[in-house]
Amino acid sequence: MTGVDETELAARAASGSEEAFGELVALHAPMARRVAYTILEDQEDADDAAQEGFLSAWQAIGRYDPKRAFRPWLMQIVVNAARDLRRRRRVRAAEPLDNVAAAARDDPARDMGAMDLGEKLNAALATLPERQRLAVVLFDAEGYPQAEIAKMLGIPEGTVKSDVFHGRRALRKVLESVKEEWDE
Amino acid sequence: MSDLSPFDAMPDPVLGAALRDALTLPHDGAFVARVRARLGSRDRGWDDVLAGWFWQGLVAASLVAFMAGWAAMSPGTVMGELPESVGAQLLDGARPGSDLLLTAMAGNR
């Protein structure tokens, strides 16, 4: 977080300031896009969902309670927008996923040696159920407390702990294999 | 590389940084510009605009109520507004005429 007072920006945005909301968009765009990409595994879809999330938040900002943190409120809207888009995509005819994620789904045991760390992690993420992916990304990559993630996803905190545990186990295997390659 | 156990309740900074790198999408600036350009096309309903003023209104009303309460409860206001009782006037020996009043009341018995 920068020195910008997020609560002040949110209060100004709630009073109708597009400029203040635009600053909030700039602050949170990278995280919102990562979270949407975690759910949708496609860059264009992730951007569409993140954009829809921001626009929905703009329309609903009058109902934002400034006593609560802004970031989890916004991220919950982005998660919902991404899940809505994923449901709509499922209804449509099957479309090709992002190359790496699609390859991992089709053949999880394909030659991982040719990929860099980011591609390997994306491939490993693609093999996890969506809830596990989200839990581990929100906890380890974005720094949300497990209780906050539970509220955001509408699941018990114990389920978040379990999802983080299982998600980490798969992803740490990738990190360890890369470390072994580097050590050789 | 991470040395933390999977049971840890703390975020794993190594895994977290690797995930952020893997998931970060390019061209943040273009994305932000696109969203900003579309804010104007999403009109907020009148109920949302009014709701935006709800919290400011609540704070203002709380402030007014607090100030009114403060004024009503301040000691100067309370003592100044209460009428002085007959008993207090009789007991005040320095007040001129208090002895006459006492004598008159005693004489009536």
Q: Are A65 and B51 in contact (CB under 8 A)?
A: no
Q: Specify the DSSP class assigned to residue A137.
A: I
Pick from A15, A43, A146: CB nearest B25 = A43
Residue of A nearest to B24 (CA): A34
3-state secondary structure of A17: coil
**Which two three-digit tokens encode residue A60?**
């609903």
Comparing A182 with B85, the larger pLDDT belongs to A182
- For the stretch A60-77, pLDDT in tens is 998 888 888 899 999 999
Question: Residues of B with CB below 8 A from A172's CB?
Answer: 2, 6, 15
A12/chain B closest Cα distance in angstroms: 9
pLDDT digits (tens, 9 = 90+) for A119-173: 999 999 999 999 999 999 999 999 999 999 999 999 999 999 999 999 999 999 9
Q: Which of A155, A124, A146, A110 is nearest to A38 (CA)?
A: A124
- Most B CBs within 10 A among A140, A169, A181, hence the mutation to make, goes to A140
* B28 vs A: CB within 8 A: yes
Touching check for B109 and chain A: CB below 8 Å? no
Does residue A59 register a pLDDT over 80? yes
What is chain A's length? 184
Calculate the CA B12 to chain-centre distance: 39
Q: Decide if A11 and B16 are in contact by the 8 Å CB cutoff.
A: no
CA atoms within 13 A on the CB side of B100: 3
Q: Do B25 and A33 touch (CB under 8 A)?
A: yes
CA distance A138 to A44: 21
Distance from CA of B73 to the nearest CA of A (A): 29
Contact A59 B48 (CB under 8 A): yes
Residue B24 banded pLDDT, cuts 50, 70, 90:
very high
CA distance B88 to chain A (A): 52
- A95, pLDDT greater than 90: no
Q: Pick the range with the lowest mean pLDDT from A25-29, A176-180, B104-108.
A: B104-108
In this complex, how many residue pairs, one in chain A and one in chain B, have their CB atoms less than 8 Å apart? 134
Burial classification of residue A118, based on how many CB atoms lie within 10 Å of its CB (0-12 exposed, 13-18 middle, 19 or more buried): middle
Q: Mind telling me how many Å the CA of A95 is from chain B's nearest CA?
A: 20
Residue B52 and residue A136: Cβ atoms within 8 Å? no
Domain annotation for chain A: domains and CATH numbers: 1-95 (1.10.1740.10), 98-184 (1.10.10.10)
Give the integer Cα–Cα distance in Å for A31 and B25: 10
Tokens encoding B97 = 């005429």
- Domains of chain B, by residue range, sit at 83-109
Give the tens place of pLDDT for each residue, B38-93: 998 876 665 665 666 666 666 777 877 888 888 787 765 544 455 556 556 656 66
Single-letter residue type at B104: A
Q: What is the pLDDT of residue A116?
A: 85
Distance from CA of A132 to the nearest CA of B (A): 14
